[in-house]
Structure 1
């Protein structure tokens, strides 16, 4: 059977991969919904809740990268079976949890399963549809926003009075479906393996430069979790990068390295903003009588529909052209979100939703099309880097921007009204990886007068919205980068996918 023809069995395998990706989104959205209730039921601090939320992301990203090194040897079916076990175990451990430690472990196991799913489904779909990678990767990744919408709506229908254990158990629905479907599916051999490209040649596509980027961000994330010193982080990064470089004797494909760097602002624009959008839009959405979470659900629904019907768009516009257009649209959408009020918020959210829809899968498609020798590794390193960048850089820098914007807003109010709110309720200077900043002291604010609280809250709400203006720089940087790549390929005769000749292309 030719893996590129998308016959009926292949389409069922694609559907299996799609449902597996839906499962990862179910786990993500349902945990986010019940997280506040865990704080009440288990008497958890905000720090503990933050740690549980964090462990749902960084193992996800790291397992994508690590499994990419061995998934071809283990086998896709075996790997997806391991992800199934992780998802079932995570749900069981979560609903029977007795406190912080068991919730942390359950979330960690679920995140590992999510990462393995990504490590499997991306190269499987890229191999099955080798001549239409970008189209089918977009359709595959419709599973993520689709799962966010479906899981979120199910939980909302169940209502606030329904026990959180039942909401978490919803994850078992897509888990069981993909677990049963995979049993009779025959998974393809990766196109790299079919073409006889060696394991070392695959590593050479990444090279020392690619290794330096991904190892740096992974090690710094682990260092943050385990409390490693800066010098220990640097030593580990240099050791791994040097050993990798000596073994591969390759700098790495320059274009791949460039795409890795572009993936960082892309992840900040899409996932980093998504992680804050509910909080940022709460004040404005409350004024029109809607929960802010509906902004995320709404934009996710837009992504789901557009990704499913990405094929015709990609046939008319090259992948890089589509990414350039989307970058510009996302920048406009974010700017309007920062300026809009009332119903216009939904209009701005629609523009932003259109802009971000094709980012992630189209970038994966470009990597898969241009670097098929990299197999599962180049494809999943790109996705893994994006996921870690969203958590490490995206969420952090948007938080930093908010704190700085709120401090400036209160200072400006003091100057205009001749008040001293900054002296009373702004902290001393703090230091972060993004620079020095001053933030609102919530403990002191809790003891403020009603009039002061009302004033600061109004300034805070406006400053949070204005923070989105600063995020616009990321899609603008992406637009410039993609336009530069379009010009580069134009000088080379145009963008085209690289096809490998397989040993059994019959």
Structure 2
């Protein structure tokens, strides 16, 4: 059940990225050619807003709602959100189409938040003696879903319209609803209740250092999740291959590397691993901004992928180890920060893309007159600038994690245990 819910969330994410270029060309470019990049970025980012709000709220009241209801809500949200995305053109016209797409992606993010809020505590309760291993096995299916959705988006594109490809989310989502409604879940633990919630909140409030990790999560997710959603829109024309294939490749790296990240963290410490990850992410993003061919794009994606693939679980493990009484509330907060980052960063990426393409073309009127190869050349150059500017995010993290690493080495603290909370 947990695997299917997480698989649905990641498959939906990769399909949204895969169809974004086609959706933009068919529905957004005709109504707003100058601001189309910012608008598709905002629509993709709304899924992360939905995730952020949902996991923040539901992780605190999960036992009052019940795991079964939350997972049914997960499936229903994906069904409703996907339906709005694929049918927006039939239901509305003009700018209203965009608003329906935005809302559909928001609902898909809510479904993702429902999934994450339920499956992590569920797994911990089912396997109390083997929690870390089981969570790692479970969350390997997040990149697994990205791979399946990404490949479907590429290989079905010549055969089906993008709406039909996006509608593939219906299949696992229906399964989540059916299994959630017919499965018996373990009872609520006796420790759950108002006092437990109060203790979790006090752990976070009384220790201001938590804000450092909260802010760092915002930046690590900006280095990982936002480029992953933007990569197909920005790179497909310039590097001579579908950008979504690069996301599939990076997801495969993530699937493998997560099984070894714990050993590396054991040698370096968690802040040490995060520092190295930030360095590779910065180099990889810069190389992506310069890539002009499939070979250079794959090389750049390899460096970027090795950098970002351990960031999310290592951040969660660091918070879990340093703020143990914060429990699911602390993890929910940093998970919300990570998702909220993409909500803000994706529109900014699109805005930078739009500004660059207009400047390169010589102004709004000159840009609207472009077509064919000239238009592609301008948009390719603009895409390069958007990735180059994003490089400054992981460069900032080098300072943050470097300082934490130095302080903890001086105090003799070493920590390398990886305990994944969300993908």
TM-score (normalised: structure 1):
0.68
Q: Aligned equivalents of 2:407 and 2:158: distance in 1? A: 54
Q: In the alignment, what sits opposite 1:503?
A: none
Matching residue within 312, 330, 337 for 1:385: 337
Residue 339 (structure 1) aligned with residue 290 (structure 2): yes
Residue 69 (structure 1) aligned with residue 60 (structure 2): yes
Unaligned runs of 5+ in 1: 1-15, 208-251, 411-420, 427-440, 499-506
Matching residue within 328, 340, 354 for 2:279: 328
**Higher RCO (C-alpha under 8 Å, 6+ residues apart):** 2
The structure with the largest alpha-carbon Rg is 1
Contact 1:141-1:307 within 8 A present in 2 as well: no
Q: Aligned equivalents of 2:69 and 2:118: distance in 1? A: 10
Contact 2:277-2:306 within 8 A present in 1 as well: yes
Q: Aligned equivalents of 2:305 and 2:183: distance in 1? A: 37
Within 5 A, what are the aligned runs for 1:481-492?
481-492=400-411
Q: Aligned equivalents of 2:124 and 2:44: distance in 1? A: 31
Q: CA deviation at 1:360?
A: 1.2
Would you say how many aligned residue pairs link Structure 1 and Structure 2? Answer: 402
Deviations 1:131-158 (A, max 9, x none): 8876655544333322121012123333
Within 5 A, what are the aligned runs for 1:285-434?
285-286=239-240, 290-342=241-293, 343-392=295-344, 394-402=345-353, 410=360, 425-426=362-363
Q: Against the structure 1 CA distance between its residues 263 and 137, is the aligned structure 2 distance closer, same or farther, given a 3 Å change threshold?
A: farther
Q: Against the structure 1 CA distance between its residues 129 and 111, is the aligned structure 2 distance closer, same or farther, given a 3 Å change threshold?
A: same
Q: Aligned equivalents of 1:79 and 1:69: distance in 2? A: 12
Q: Aligned equivalents of 1:77 and 1:497: distance in 2? A: 34
Within 5 A, what are the aligned runs for 1:187-336?
187=186, 189=188, 193=192, 198-207=196-205, 252-286=206-240, 290-336=241-287
Contact 2:270-2:415 within 8 A present in 1 as well: no
Q: Aligned equivalents of 2:394 and 2:103: distance in 1? A: 36
Q: In the alignment, what sits opposite 2:368?
A: 446
Q: Against the structure 1 CA distance between its residues 318 and 132, is the aligned structure 2 distance closer, same or farther, given a 3 Å change threshold?
A: farther
Q: CA deviation at 1:260?
A: 0.3
Q: CA deviation at 1:387?
A: 0.9
Deviations 1:80-112 (A, max 9, x none): 232233334445566666423765654443332
Where 1:20 maps in the other structure, the secondary structure is: helix
Q: Against the structure 1 CA distance between its residues 279 and 87, is the aligned structure 2 distance closer, same or farther, given a 3 Å change threshold?
A: closer
Q: Aligned equivalents of 1:170 and 1:379: distance in 2? A: 31
Q: Aligned equivalents of 1:261 and 1:18: distance in 2? A: 29
Q: Against the structure 1 CA distance between its residues 341 and 23, is the aligned structure 2 distance closer, same or farther, given a 3 Å change threshold?
A: same
Contact 2:81-2:104 within 8 A present in 1 as well: yes
Contact 1:122-1:380 within 8 A present in 2 as well: no
Q: Against the structure 1 CA distance between its residues 331 and 108, is the aligned structure 2 distance closer, same or farther, given a 3 Å change threshold?
A: closer
Unaligned runs of 5+ in 2: 92-96, 418-423
Q: In the alignment, what sits opposite 2:120?
A: 122
Deviations 1:442-491 (A, max 9, x none): x43233699xx84x864653453244333222212222222222233334
Matching residue within 19, 31, 34 for 2:4: 19
Q: Against the structure 1 CA distance between its residues 335 and 135, is the aligned structure 2 distance closer, same or farther, given a 3 Å change threshold?
A: farther
Contact 2:42-2:343 within 8 A present in 1 as well: no
Contact 2:154-2:245 within 8 A present in 1 as well: no
Deviations 1:19-64 (A, max 9, x none): 2111112222334444535974899845786665454332222111
Q: In the alignment, what sits opposite 1:30?
A: 15
Contact 2:231-2:247 within 8 A present in 1 as well: yes
Q: Aligned equivalents of 1:266 and 1:259: distance in 2? A: 10
Q: CA deviation at 1:282?
A: 3.2
Within 5 A, what are the aligned runs for 1:60-139?
60-91=51-82, 98-99=90-91, 100=97, 106-125=104-123, 137-139=135-137
Once structures 1 and 2 are overlaid, which stretch shifts more, 131-140 or 336-345?
131-140
Q: Against the structure 1 CA distance between its residues 323 and 140, is the aligned structure 2 distance closer, same or farther, given a 3 Å change threshold?
A: farther
Q: Which has the higher helix share?
A: 2
Q: Aligned equivalents of 2:337 and 2:331: distance in 1? A: 10
Q: CA deviation at 1:359?
A: 0.9
Q: Aligned equivalents of 2:218 and 2:212: distance in 1? A: 11
Q: CA deviation at 1:325?
A: 1.7
Residue 475 (structure 1) aligned with residue 394 (structure 2): yes
Q: CA deviation at 1:379?
A: 0.6
Q: CA deviation at 1:269?
A: 0.8
Give the superposed CA RMSD: 3.7
Q: Against the structure 1 CA distance between its residues 77 and 313, is the aligned structure 2 distance closer, same or farther, given a 3 Å change threshold?
A: farther
Contact 1:330-1:351 within 8 A present in 2 as well: yes
